[in-house]
Amino acid sequence: MGRAKNPTLTSPRTGSSPVIRSLFAALALVTAAIAPAAAQDAATLRIGYQRSSTLIALLREDRTLETALKPLNVEVSWHEFTSGLPIMEALNVGRIDVSADVADTVPVFAQGANAKITYFAQEAASPTAQAILVPGDSPLKSVADLKGRKVAVTKGAGSHYLLLAALKAESLPFKSITPAYLTPADGRSALAGGSVDAWVAWDPFLSAAEVQAGARVLKDGTGLSGYKRYYLASDDYAAKRADVLALLFGKLKETGAWVKAHPDAAAERLAALWKIDAPVVLKANARRSYQVEPVTRDGLAEQQTIADAFRAEGLLPRAVDAAALPVWAPPTR
């Protein structure tokens, strides 16, 4: 397993700032609802996911992961969360073992809070899967036109970093806009109701707003944000169950390839699971790579850029070395 043995590559597990502490304190009620780690059977793989976790959603539906794990005498339990940060906190305190995909910014904030997590897989960059949206009839034509405007964004999400990067590319400070920190559902409502001038969204919310409400992309992540999706494990689980991670990695890779090779069938299955129109899912899936691959330290360069950007805005308690988190690697054949 590719864990770093050099202690200088291990991020310090010290205290965190009030900003990060308050984020994780708000998650306590969520993680308390999960079965205590000490009472959990060691032969059960506990997976944390969000409703929109595409590849995990498909594996959960067809139960192929359970079948594949039977020879290892490992069962699976599934734990749904509303967003990525609660998943990271659950990993950190040992309530779950692995996470479904989370946005690139999520591990950065978790690392800022000294979470004991290990990268074990990533989806290759999907820069067009998040974008700054405006109403179809908006007079705004470029990011520069956002100056002095009110923009809805989900705080700490990948879309938040996209907004930072887009403004920086136009030599505009973040304070040149008025942020409205909203959930995706509230952001879409605010855009439709005219209470904000723009909204930064990711798929499938992005595609839904385009298809169903006629929203227009002002700027996507091309050239600004790669928008990789990461899968993580708790440090303890990564150290003890390389065999399970290797199997899960293979199933994720296989499922991602199936989605891209069978777009219509994948859209139909996911539409039924998510209660979203199939054309919306089809459009969203076309923007995602779903190319599951190993994480490398060299490949974490953009994670460092993200960390530095949020640190500059005062949202991270300390400087973060993004390459210092442990990285698990699948066995080579």
Q: Are residues 170 and 245 in the same domain?
A: no
Q: Are residues 107 and 21 in the same domain?
A: yes
Q: Are residues 196 and 255 in the same domain?
A: no
Q: Are 250 and 110 in contact (CB under 8 A)?
A: no
Instruction: Note the pTM of the prediction, 2 decimals.
Output: 0.86
Residue 31, pLDDT score: 41
What is the DSSP code string of 131-196? Answer: EEEE-TT-S--SGGGGTT-EEEE-TTSHHHHHHHHHHHHTT--GGGSEEEE--HHHHHHHHHHTSS
- Give a yes or no: residue 213 inside a domain: yes
Residue 14, pLDDT score: 39
Q: Are residues 272 and 133 in the same domain?
A: no
Choose the weakest-confidence range: 4-8, 199-203, 237-241: 4-8
Compare 10 and 256 and report the one with higher pLDDT. 256
- For 268-314, how does the pLDDT look when each residue is reduced to its tens digit (9 = 90+)? 999 999 999 999 999 999 999 999 999 999 999 999 999 999 999 99
Q: In terms of Cα–Cα distance, which of 248, 309, 260, 326 is closest to 287?
A: 260
- For residue 20, pLDDT beyond 80: no
Residue 85, pLDDT score: 87
* DSSP-assigned beta bridge partners for residue 55: none
- For 211-270, how does the pLDDT look when each residue is reduced to its tens digit (9 = 90+)? 999 999 999 999 999 999 999 999 999 999 999 999 999 999 999 999 999 999 999 999
Q: Are residues 197 and 264 in the same domain?
A: no
Mean pLDDT taken over the chain: 89
- For residue 36, pLDDT beyond 90: no
Q: Are residues 116 and 135 in the same domain?
A: no
Boundary-marking domain end, from 198, 220, 242: 220
- For 83-106, how does the pLDDT look when each residue is reduced to its tens digit (9 = 90+)? 888 999 999 999 999 999 999 999
Q: Are 291 and 231 in contact (CB under 8 A)?
A: no
Residue 333, pLDDT score: 65
- For residue 63, pLDDT beyond 80: yes
Q: How many domains does the chain have?
A: 2
Q: Are residues 66 and 21 in the same domain?
A: yes
Q: Are residues 216 and 232 in the same domain?
A: no
Q: Are residues 115 and 24 in the same domain?
A: yes
- Give a yes or no: residue 1 inside a domain: no
Residue 6, pLDDT score: 33
Q: Are residues 194 and 211 in the same domain?
A: yes
- For residue 34, pLDDT beyond 70: no
- Give a yes or no: residue 137 inside a domain: yes
- For 115-174, how does the pLDDT look when each residue is reduced to its tens digit (9 = 90+)? 999 999 999 999 999 999 999 999 999 999 999 999 999 999 999 999 999 999 999 999
Boundary-marking domain end, from 201, 220, 239: 220
Taking 3-state DSSP, the helix, strand and coil percentages for the chain, each rounded to the nearest 5, stand at: 50, 15, 35
Compare 12 and 43 and report the one with higher pLDDT. 43
**For residue 191, which amino acid is it?**
L
Q: Are residues 119 and 33 in the same domain?
A: yes
Q: Are 249 and 292 in contact (CB under 8 A)?
A: yes
Under the banding of pLDDT at 50, 70 and 90, the label for residue 331 is confident
Q: In terms of Cα–Cα distance, which of 201, 55, 229 is closest to 125?
A: 229
CATH of the domain at 142: 3.40.190.10
What residues make up the domain containing 274?
7-125+228-324
- Give a yes or no: residue 269 inside a domain: yes
- Give a yes or no: residue 310 inside a domain: yes
- For residue 9, pLDDT beyond 80: no
- Give a yes or no: residue 273 inside a domain: yes
- Give a yes or no: residue 331 inside a domain: no
Q: Are residues 137 and 37 in the same domain?
A: no
- For residue 16, pLDDT beyond 60: no
- Give a yes or no: residue 332 inside a domain: no
Q: Are 129 and 288 in contact (CB under 8 A)?
A: yes
Q: Are 166 and 143 in contact (CB under 8 A)?
A: yes
Boundary-marking domain end, from 203, 220, 237: 220
- For residue 197, pLDDT beyond 70: yes
Q: Are 229 and 106 in contact (CB under 8 A)?
A: no
